[in-house]
């Protein structure tokens, strides 16, 4: 039985004080929830403060990006070791916004996964097709390539530790969620691909979460699909009440 995994990707939102306020409220509201791995991914500047607040709680901490080198002359970048030092357990890698605006590719995704795992962090690896690709019926082809190239040298033992997030680009921030059936079709494909390329056991264990306009009203329908094990939430994770409702409606 795979434990539900629900992460809030705050993107470029919240000052330190706003982050603290949100997490304090979230902590109170979810204190009794044990059946879900709850994670928040604030901006870099708020990581340490949030880490102090969640340290003994049922909320995990993730970062939204990372660089693959450990230290050195890489102005503006942050290494896996530094994220671990700040209290992170997870890192989002390959989000479509990073692919679109910051030149992230399947090759950099692979480098980041390896670096993050060497530092003892768990990657949340994002895949997903654009609207154009969907309309051209290339969804499976695109996802397969993202998996094949992004996970190219990742061995069985390391795959178990990865969370895959299927985020159709056309559903992100648009209010246009994939239907539970559309999402399930791709999640099932991803699980099948893992079975074929790794093993049946790993495919049963790995968590594949959905992202793209998830909110409290659609969370249950999405997460009751057999291959959807949680959600990566943008907008609806920015207000404690909305995120809490979404989590509770997913149970």
Regarding 173 and contact with ligand 13P (CB under 6 A), the answer is yes
Site for ligand 13P in 141-170 (CB under 6 A): 167
For residue 39, report the phi and psi dihedrals to the nearest 5 degrees: -135, 145
Instruction: Give how far the C-alpha of residue 112 lies from the chain's centroid of Cα atoms, to the nearest Å.
Output: 14
Choose the binding region for ligand 13P from 80-88, 152-160, 218-226, 228-236 (rule: CB under 6 A).
228-236
In this chain, which of 233, 244, 246, 247 binds ligand 13P, going by CB under 6 A?
A: 233
Q: How far is the CB of 91 from ligand 13P (least distance, A)?
A: 13
For ligand 13P, the closer CB: 139 or 177:
177
176 contacts 103 by C-beta, under 8 angstroms: no
**Strand segments (E) across 106-162:** 122-127
CA 168 vs CA 98, 129, 142, 150, 184: distances in Å: 14, 5, 11, 17, 12
In this chain, which of 214, 219, 222, 223 binds ligand 13P, going by CB under 6 A?
A: 214
Closest CA to 251 of 32, 23, 16: 32
Site string for ligand 13P, 95-124 (x = CB under 6 A): x-----------------------------
Contact residues for ligand 13P (CB under 6 A)?
9, 95, 167, 172-173, 211-214, 232-236
């Amino acid at each position: 039985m795979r434990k539900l995994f629900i992460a809030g990707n705050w993107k470029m939102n919240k000052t330190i004080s706003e982050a603290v306020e949100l997490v304090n409220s979230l902590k109170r509201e979810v204190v009794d929830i044990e059946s879900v791995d709850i994670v928040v991914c604030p901006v870099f500047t708020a990581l340490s403060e949030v880490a102090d607040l969640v340290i003994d709680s049922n909320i995990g901490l993730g970062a939204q990006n990372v660089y693959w080198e450990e230290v050195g002359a890489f102005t503006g970048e942050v290494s896996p070791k530094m994220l671990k030092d700040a209290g992170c357990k997870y890192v989002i890698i390959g989000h479509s916004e990073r692919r679109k605006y910051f030149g992230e590719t399947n090759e950099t995704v692979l480098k980041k996964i390896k670096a993050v795992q060497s530092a003892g962090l768990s990657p949340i690896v994002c895949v997903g097709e654009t609207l154009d690709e969907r309309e051209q019926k290339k969804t499976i082809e695109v996802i397969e390539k993202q998996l094949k190239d992004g996970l190219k040298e990742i061995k069985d033992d390391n795959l178990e530790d990865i969370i895959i997030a299927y985020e159709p680009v056309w559903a992100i921030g648009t209010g246009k969620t994939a239907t539970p059936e559309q999402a399930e079709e791709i999640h099932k494909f991803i699980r099948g691909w893992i079975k074929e390329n790794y093993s049946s056991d790993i495919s049963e264990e790995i968590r594949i979460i959905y992202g793209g306009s998830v909110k409290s009203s659609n969370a249950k329908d999405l997460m009751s699909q057999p291959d959807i094990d949680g959600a990566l939430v943008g907008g609806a994770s920015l207000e404690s009440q909305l995120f809490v409702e979404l989590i509770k409606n997913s149970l």
